[in-house]
Amino acid sequence: MTILAKKAPQRALMSLALVLGLSGCGDSSSAEPLIPFISFNESISVLDQRYPQLRTDNGAAEIPGGVRGLIIVRQNATTYLAFERNCPYRPYDAACSTVSIDASRLFLADACCSSQFTLQGQTRGGPAPRPLRQYATSLSGNLLTITN
């Protein structure tokens, strides 16, 4: 047996170890901390005088609940989306990391880190590594229930 033939299994083993080692390296977004998980069940009337924006398509309102509050977006008369206001970029930053409805009412934004999100919760710009956390909604008559 030649020296090269003896080293072939060693090389294969080294190559396998290298591939497995590198496959553990992901993009940096997977290393970002996740938003805390809390259990809640919030209900609001979509006709509530405090939330007139929820009576028109693409209207959005901020309500209490979740970790830092919720943003409710009306897609149409029967479909509402609910998002966590806690920004996915540095979610444990106590002084910042809160998403609000932009003054234009066309998108959502975190004024501290400049992350922006569509009204469907998808990232639009800035350092946020992932979309906003979305919660389940159900509409029964005029009562909208948001749960996690």
Q: Does the pLDDT at position 100 exceed 80?
A: yes
Q: What are the tens digits of pLDDT across the range 38-89?
A: 899 999 999 999 999 999 999 999 999 999 999 999 999 999 999 999 999 9
- 128-148: string of b/e by CB count within 10 Å (b at 16+)? bbeebbebebeeeeeebebeb
What tokens appear for 40 in the block? 């809640």
Give residue 35's pLDDT.
Answer: 85
Q: How many CB atoms lie within 10 A of CB 40?
A: 13
CATH number of the 41-147 domain: 2.102.10.10
- DSSP for 18-34? HHHHHHT---GGGGSPP
Residues 6+ apart with CB under 8 A from 13: none
Whole-number average pLDDT of the chain: 85
Give residue 96's pLDDT.
Answer: 84
Confidence at 3, pLDDT banded by 50, 70, 90: low
Give residue 63's pLDDT.
Answer: 96
Give residue 126's pLDDT.
Answer: 95
Rounded Cα–Cα distance for residues 2 and 94 (Å):
65
What tokens appear for 131 in the block? 């979309």
DSSP-based three-state secondary structure for 49: coil
Give residue 22's pLDDT.
Answer: 40
Give residue 23's pLDDT.
Answer: 40
Give residue 131's pLDDT.
Answer: 96
What tokens appear for 84 in the block? 């966590």
Name the pTM for this structure.
0.77
Angle at Cα 14 formed by Cα 13 and Cα 16, nearest 5°? 65
DSSP-based three-state secondary structure for 40: coil
Give residue 125's pLDDT.
Answer: 95
Q: Does the pLDDT at position 9 exceed 60?
A: no
